[in-house]
Structures are given as structure tokens and as C-alpha cells.
Amino acid sequence: MKHIPTLIYQIVNAHAKSAKIDTTMLIGAIELDINKLQPLGIVIKEEITNSLRYAFQGKANGRICDSESLVNDMVNIDIEDNGIGRDLRYYYRRSFS
């Protein structure tokens, strides 16, 4: 998983427009073969890109935290940002209507 920090830095540098985005990464010592690492990289890329597109609109700076750990032979991915958020009432209403 040594390539994940490089991937995240490249995405942030390519997509961060006017906002200054700090990144924090907590990545455990996880060894994956390429067949598992490639889809994981796609998921992380999509999540980070979505944060950069939507979370920091109108903000001068922001933070993205990424952590990966191995739990019961499964990779646990946690990506958080301190962006503008979303109206969870809208998502809750839509998921049950």
C-alpha cells in the first residue's frame, strides 16, 4: 500500500483549485497483490476526487483524512473531509421514498 499516499497527493495537487487542502494519511502495513490493489486505488481515487469537487466549494482551505487498515482479512477504508457537508435529510428522504 506504499503507492496510496503518492496517488492521493497527485489527485489533490491535480484537482485542488483555489483551496489549500491538507492531507493526513494513516495506512497500516498491508500487502496486497496488484489484482486487489488496483480496484482499491480506483475506489480511493473516486472518493478523494468527490471530496475535492464538492466538499470545499467556497472554502479557502480544507482537510482530507485517509486511513486504511486490515480488519479480519478485509481492508477497511476511511476517508473523511471537513468540507461543507450535505443535507442528510435529503439523502435520508430519497433513500426511503
Q: Residue 54 belongs to what domain range?
A: 4-96
The helix, strand and coil proportions of the chain, stated in percent and rounded to the nearest 5, come to 45, 30, 30
Contact 48, 66 (CB under 8 A): yes
Q: How many domains does the chain have?
A: 1
Tens of pLDDT, residues 26-67: 887 888 888 888 888 899 899 999 888 888 888 888 899 999
Cell 480496484 found at: 39
Q: What CATH number did the domain enclosing 14 receive?
A: 3.30.565.10
Q: Model-level pTM greater than 0.85?
A: no
